[in-house]
Amino acid sequence: MQAHTLAAYALAAYSRAMVFVELTPFADFRREHWTDEDFRAFQSFPLVSPEAGDLIPGGGGLRKVRWAAQGRGKRGGSRIICYGKVSGNQIYLVYGYVKSEREDLTPRQVKALADLTRDLKNG
C-alpha cells in the first residue's frame, strides 16, 4: 500500500482505545473546513457508534457519515468517508466533502476508495 497516512493517534473511552488514521484527502478536507474543536467532536462520535454511517454500495466496507456543520444541520454539513478496522480498533478517515459543494461520490471515486479499502484490509 502506498503511504497515504498523514497522522495516527489514539483516543480512549471506556477503557477501549480507538486509533484514528487520517489519510491525506481527509486531512486536506479537515484543514480547509474544520476547526480543531469540530474535529474533536467528530472523533468522539465513532467511539459511541463505531459502525455509524451508511455503508457505501460497492465501497468495500466504507461508510458515509453525515456530520452537521456548526449551526447548519446535517443537510448543510459535511460527509465523511471512513473505514473501521474492528480487529485493530482503527478508524481510517479516508475522505471528506461539504454537502453544498458535492452531492455524492461518483462511481469512479467509489471504486478508487474501495481499492484503497482493500489495501487497508490486507495491510
How many domains does the structure of the chain reveal? 1
Is residue 120 predicted with pLDDT exceeding 50?
Answer: yes
Please write the tens of the pLDDT for every residue from 88-115. 678 889 999 998 888 789 999 999 998 8
Q: What CATH number is associated with residue 31?
A: 3.30.2310.20
More confident residue, 49 or 59: 59
- Asked whether residue 8 is domain-assigned, the answer is no
Alpha-carbon distances of 123 from 14, 41, 81, 85, 120, rounded to whole Å: 27, 28, 19, 11, 5
Query: For residue 22, what are the domain limits?
Result: 18-122
Written as nine digits, the cell of 42 is 467528530
DSSP reduced 3-state for 43: helix
Cβ neighbours, 10 Å, residue 37: 9
- Asked whether residue 13 is domain-assigned, the answer is no
- Asked whether residue 114 is domain-assigned, the answer is yes
pLDDT of the residue at 44:
78
Report the alpha-carbon distance of residue 82 to residue 21 in Å, rounded. 10
- Asked whether residue 1 is domain-assigned, the answer is no
pTM: 0.77
Written as nine digits, the cell of 54 is 451508511
Please write the tens of the pLDDT for every residue from 12-53. 444 457 788 899 999 999 999 888 888 888 887 765 566 778
